[in-house]
């Protein structure tokens, strides 16, 4: 941190909050609110004469609440910048600090929050994680029994700069505990709290146990675990070393911790799996290895930066394998535990990667984007005629469309990722997507259904998931009937209802629309835009008179090849079960209504031309 503070190209804005983010990759504008410290940063030299004079004591957040701090304070001794802050929620304004500060005259009670707009090229989110609050697991007694503590509390007690100056004591009587138990997976790998494995707790617990054993060789240390996970380089060797030092490892998750009120000692109950028996261990101190959980304000950060969150609540990366540092919003990068629980080496690696990814943008004069962006035909957009609409802007997951009444909707190409949601949602067919124009897709549709359409299953697939799923079915040798005809678009959001109408008008036997599961969507909320539309569309198709089994919606991930094959199998079977004559009769019956609904399709530029081509006939 000190190095960062001294670097000529790094500016640290501490005690500040990002309020708004506007713009796009390479051209962000960020509104930062600097909170008042009530101490002038340019005058305070961090001498610390003020704090001892302050009469107010409150729990110290950095020391996990086990030591006090004053109302005028620095978070910890290595704070950067070394400038004191007055915590106005607790200050009684006795002005003793002002007297102590003397000639420096750094204290200013009149400070107000200040807001600044910054122009930045890229953004790195490194907001870290929170520690799970174990008091919700009542049977472990955290909060009820003083000698049940969390790992972070132990870290402070064990730290030479901590409240006990590194002397290990237990909270109830200040004595050095001889028998210690560590409990793993507190709040993680548990369906009641967090299903995921926090990953680094095994290693830090072994580290703490080894450190303890080194300073107190007689200590009796037990680690209760479900599985020890030490997959990193040299990690397993470290685990072996802990075993060789005489640390006891018991496989079994404690079901209950009871306190002996006379001694304050704790009785840990668990099944020792190797023994196949329930055991009880008396410990003087129990340390809970709590789960890493997303920061409490992750929701707010997610809204401000337009960064979506994974099922566990951490920020979602663009691609888990290929782009693990990028967020779904271009120019915003993720580093460290904000993206998912990770240990120090992994956080450093991701931080370095994020910095270099961000630097690429800063050093570029031009930035290449995918060419599949949306484009507005200004003469067709009714907003240009002064009418109210703006549907496209509400459907865009990236806020890439600006609608001003009296002007045509404007797409910021650098922000557009090409999901095509706006294109399919525009009620006036005024938007198109480059390389996925209506004319191109309709031409494909006609080619696919050129021969014996009533024997075909037309499958709309999204590029990322269901197309991958179909591909996976092929590479994994899951056979599916040859009646399927696939049509790839980027996202289920692009699958216009007119395409489905057109497919049925041409007489398609079955239509499948498929895309990502909602949490996997590669366009933040594109899948939801599609899903809402298909729900309504299913009812509309029924109103038209199309049998409900002829239209199906399925969410299939790229790993679900077997599901893709299964769905096609089921649809094929259903199709073959239908009477061909009845199907033809149904098709001719619904055709006039479909034609009525599709009458505006030909107005779209080059669609009429595509229809005239009669490809493949």
Partner 1 sequence: MRRLNECDPKFKDQVMAEPGGENLIRCYACGTCMATCLIRRSDPEYNPRRIMHKAILGLRQDVLSSRQIWMCSACDDCYAHCPQNIHISELFKVFRTIAQHEGFKPTGPTARVNERTCVACGLCVEVCPYQAVELVQKRVLGQNKTVSQVNAALCMSCGLCAASCRSASIDLTDHTDETLLERLQAEPQPEEVAV
Our finding on whether 134 is near partner 1 (CB under 8 A) is no
In three-state form (DSSP H/G/I as H, E/B as E, the rest C), the secondary structure along 500-520 is HHHHHHCCCCEEEEEECCHHH
Our finding on whether 133 is near partner 1 (CB under 8 A) is no
Distance between CA atoms of 450 and 438, rounded to whole angstroms? 18
- Which listed residue (87, 130, 271, 454) binds partner 1 by CB under 8 A? 271
* Shortest Å distance, C-beta 109 to partner 1: 51
The nearer residue to partner 1, 189 or 415, going by C-beta atoms, is 189
The nearer residue to partner 1, 18 or 270, going by C-beta atoms, is 270
Strands 431-433 and 72-73: unpaired
Considering only the stretches 96-104, 245-253, 284-292, 417-425, report the one whose residues sit in contact with partner 1 under the rule CB under 8 A. 245-253
Our finding on whether 256 is near partner 1 (CB under 8 A) is yes
Degrees, nearest 5: CA angle 117-122-126? 95
Ramachandran region, residue 166 (left: φ > 0; alpha: ψ -120 to 50; beta: rest) = left
Our finding on whether 253 is near partner 1 (CB under 8 A) is yes
Distance between CA atoms of 239 and 234, rounded to whole angstroms? 9
Q: Nearest 5°: phi and psi at 116?
A: -130, 140
What DSSP string runs through 47-70? ---HHHH---EEE-TTTTTSSEEE
Lookup: tokens for 156: 């402070």
* Shortest Å distance, C-beta 139 to partner 1: 7
The nearer residue to partner 1, 142 or 333, going by C-beta atoms, is 142
Our finding on whether 135 is near partner 1 (CB under 8 A) is no
* Shortest Å distance, C-beta 251 to partner 1: 8
The nearer residue to partner 1, 185 or 285, going by C-beta atoms, is 185
**Site residues for partner 1, window 563-582 (CB under 8 A)?**
none
Neighbouring-strand partners of residue 34: 16, 114
Our finding on whether 226 is near partner 1 (CB under 8 A) is yes
Alpha helices in 427-550 (DSSP H): 438-448, 466-475, 497-505, 526-544
Considering only the stretches 47-55, 276-284, 374-382, 559-567, report the one whose residues sit in contact with partner 1 under the rule CB under 8 A. 276-284
Considering only the stretches 143-151, 272-280, 510-518, 532-540, report the one whose residues sit in contact with partner 1 under the rule CB under 8 A. 272-280
* Shortest Å distance, C-beta 507 to partner 1: 41
**Site residues for partner 1, window 178-217 (CB under 8 A)?**
185, 189-192
What DSSP string runs through 88-121? TTT-----HHHHHHGGG--B-TT---EEEEEEES
* Shortest Å distance, C-beta 348 to partner 1: 31
* Shortest Å distance, C-beta 226 to partner 1: 5
Q: Residue 365: CB partners within 8 Å, gap ≥ 6?
A: none
Our finding on whether 526 is near partner 1 (CB under 8 A) is no
The nearer residue to partner 1, 255 or 549, going by C-beta atoms, is 255
Q: Which residues of 176-189 are buried (b: 16+ CB within 10 A; e: fewer)?
A: ebebbbbbbbbbbb
Q: How many residues bind partner 1 (CB under 8 A)?
A: 22
The nearer residue to partner 1, 139 or 379, going by C-beta atoms, is 139
Q: Nearest 5°: phi and psi at 257?
A: -125, 120
Q: Which residues of 153-171 are buried (b: 16+ CB within 10 A; e: fewer)?
A: bbebbbeeebbbeeebebe
Q: Residue 552: CB partners within 8 Å, gap ≥ 6?
A: 510, 511, 512, 513, 567, 571
- Which listed residue (273, 344, 359, 482) binds partner 1 by CB under 8 A? 273
**Site residues for partner 1, window 137-166 (CB under 8 A)?**
139
The nearer residue to partner 1, 37 or 189, going by C-beta atoms, is 189
Chain residues binding partner 1 by CB under 8 A are 139, 185, 189-192, 226-227, 251-256, 269-273, 276-278
């Amino acid at each position: 941190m000190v190095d960062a503070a001294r670097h000529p190209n790094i500016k640290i804005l501490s005690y500040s909050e990002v309020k708004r983010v506007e713009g796009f990759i390479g051209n962000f504008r960020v509104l930062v609110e600097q909170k008042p410290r009530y101490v002038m940063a340019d005058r305070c030299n961090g001498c610390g004469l003020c704090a001892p004079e302050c009469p107010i004591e409150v729990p110290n957040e950095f020391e996990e609440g086990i030591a006090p701090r004053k109302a005028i304070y620095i978070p910890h001794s290595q704070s950067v910048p070394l400038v004191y802050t007055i915590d106005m929620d607790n200050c009684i304004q006795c002005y003793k600090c002002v007297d102590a500060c003397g000639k420096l005259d750094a204290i200013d009670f009149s400070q107000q929050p200040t807001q600044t707009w910054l122009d930045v090229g890229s953004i790195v989110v490194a907001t870290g994680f929170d520690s799970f609050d174990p008091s919700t697991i009542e049977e472990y007694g955290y909060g009820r029994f003083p000698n049940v503590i969390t790992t972070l509390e132990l870290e402070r007690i064990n730290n030479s700069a901590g409240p006990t100056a590194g002397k290990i004591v237990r909270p109830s009587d200040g004595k050095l505990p001889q028998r210690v138990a560590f409990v793993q997976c507190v709040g993680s790998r548990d369906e009641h709290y967090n299903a995921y494995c926090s990953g680094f707790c095994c290693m830090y617990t072994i580290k703490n146990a080894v450190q303890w054993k080194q300073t107190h060789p007689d200590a009796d240390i037990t680690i209760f675990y479900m599985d020890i996970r030490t997959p990193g380089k040299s990690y397993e060797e470290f685990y072996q070393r802990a075993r060789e030092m005489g640390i006891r490892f018991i496989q079994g998750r404690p079901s209950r911790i009871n306190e002996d009120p006379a001694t304050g000692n704790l009785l840990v109950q668990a099944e020792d799996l190797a023994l196949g028996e329930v055991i009880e261990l008396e410990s003087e101190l129990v340390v809970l290895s709590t789960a890493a959980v997303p920061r409490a304000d992750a929701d707010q950060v997610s809204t401000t930066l337009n960064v979506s969150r994974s099922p566990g609540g951490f920020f979602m990366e663009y691609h888990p394998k290929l782009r693990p540092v990028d967020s779904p919003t271009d120019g915003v990068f993720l580093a460290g535990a904000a993206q998912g629980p990770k240990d120090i080496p992994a956080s450093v690696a991701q931080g370095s990667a994020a910095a270099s990814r961000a630097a690429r943008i800063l050093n570029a004069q031009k930035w290449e984007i995918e060419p599949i962006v949306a484009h507005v035909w200004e003469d067709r957009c009714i907003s240009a005629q002064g009418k109210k609409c703006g549907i496209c802007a509400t459907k865009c997951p990236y806020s890439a469309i600006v609608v001003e009444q009296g002007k045509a909707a404007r797409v910021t190409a650098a922000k557009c990722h090409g999901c095509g949601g706006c294109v399919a949602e525009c009620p006036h067919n005024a938007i198109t997507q480059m390389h996925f124009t209506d004319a191109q897709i309709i031409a494909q549709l006609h080619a696919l259904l050129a021969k014996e359409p009533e024997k075909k299953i037309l499958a709309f697939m999204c590029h990322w998931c269901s197309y991958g799923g179909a591909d996976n079915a092929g590479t994994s040798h899951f056979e599916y009937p040859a009646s399927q005809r696939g049509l790839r678009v980027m996202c289920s959001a692009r699958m216009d209802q007119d395409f489905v109408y057109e497919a049925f008008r041409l007489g398609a036997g079955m239509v499948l629309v498929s895309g990502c599961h909602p949490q996997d969507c590669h366009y933040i909320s594109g899948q939801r835009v599609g899903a809402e539309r298909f729900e309504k569309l299913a009812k509309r198709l029924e109103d038209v008179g199309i049998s409900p089994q002829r239209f199906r919606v399925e969410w299939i991930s790229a790993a679900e090849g077997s599901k893709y094959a299964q769905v096609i199998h089921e649809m094929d079977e259903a199709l073959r079960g239908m009477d061909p004559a009845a199907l033809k009769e149904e098709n001719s019956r619904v055709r006039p209504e479909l034609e009525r609904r599709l009458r505006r399709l030909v107005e779209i530029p080059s669609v009429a031309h595509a229809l005239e081509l009669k490809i493949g006939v």
